[in-house]
Chains A and B, each alone.
Chain A
Amino acid sequence: MSEIKKFMYVNRKAPYGTIYAWEALEVILIGAAFEQDVSLAFMDDGVYQLTKGQDTTGIGMKNFSPTYSALGDYEITKIYVDKESLEERGLSLDDLQHLVWEDEDEDWAEKDSIRLVSRTELADVLAEQDVLFNF
């Protein structure tokens, strides 16, 4: 395997209504097999993807929100959420699913995956990446 690159998937769209959110999730899960240094970012309407209590019965689409909890199993442990995007939508960290990953080296201790960051901090994280995928 060649050198490890920093991969960032940027999610900016609401979970349903378009296929972007689900497609992004599939690409992320597939890409996880390549063992790169993966991070995710959620901003703009993308923050709705992580909200708790999603119910899709009225729109006839699969509710794929439980899949975000599997990201830890795929060793995706860095999920950046833009604080301003949450605030602009009247949301806070409490409205989001509690996403964790288990640290095998520390007897499977649960650790938080979500990192709440300001727009400026997020810009810095984006600038460090080798590859950006925008959804």
Chain B
Amino acid sequence: MGSIEANGKNYETDEEGYLADLNTWDKDVAEVMAKLDDCELTDNHWEVINFLREYYEEYQIAPAVRVLTKAIGKKLGKDKGNSKYLYELFPYGPAKQACKYAGLPKPTGCV
């Protein structure tokens, strides 16, 4: 167990830096997590992060990268629903890294 501080608030994380309780998530902690990875969150990042939070809300799982790519393509268009675009935004792996910033657990099946 670890923790992350954002705006004077403490957020509990697991050993890999994912939030321990997704209900504690807010935009501040997402920004701090991204900064730790040297990543500046743009609107394009937020689009994916918000998508993941909605997906989790609906299905109670973090989608696998293949599923995420397809679903993004359907919702936001083919120019965004491809691995090149998503890997440019999230070089550590779109599902893994974006899920982390979104406060979700690591996608099922991710090692």
Contact = CB atoms under 8 A, between A and B. Distances in A.
Interface string B34-50: 00000000000000000
A29 B108 contact: yes
Interface string B49-92: 00000000011110110110011001000000000000000000
Contacts of A30: 108-109
Contacts of B64: 29, 32-33, 74
Contacts of A62: 60
Contact of B59 (A26, A33, A69, A108): A69
A66 interface: yes
A70 B66 CA distance: 13
Nearest to A102: B74
Given A66-B58, A108-B74, A73 B63 contact: yes
B56 to A, nearest CB: 10
Interface in A1-50: 26, 29-30, 32-33
A73 B60 contact: no
A110 B69 CA distance: 19
Interface residues on B, range: 10 to 19
A62 B21 CA distance: 13
A33 B108 CA distance: 11
A64 B71 contact: no
A51 interface: no
Contact of B61 (A33, A63, A70, A108): A70
A63 B108 contact: no
Interface string A56-76: 000000111011011001100
A33 B61 CA distance: 15
A26 B58 CA distance: 17
Interface of A: 26, 29-30, 32-33, 62-64, 66-67, 69-70, 73-74, 104, 108
Given A29-B61, A63-B60, A70-B67, 19 more contacts: A26-B108, A26-B109, A29-B64, A30-B108, A33-B64, A62-B60, A64-B60, A66-B59, A67-B60, A67-B61, A69-B58, A70-B59, A70-B61, A70-B63, A73-B63, A73-B70, A74-B64, A74-B67, A104-B70
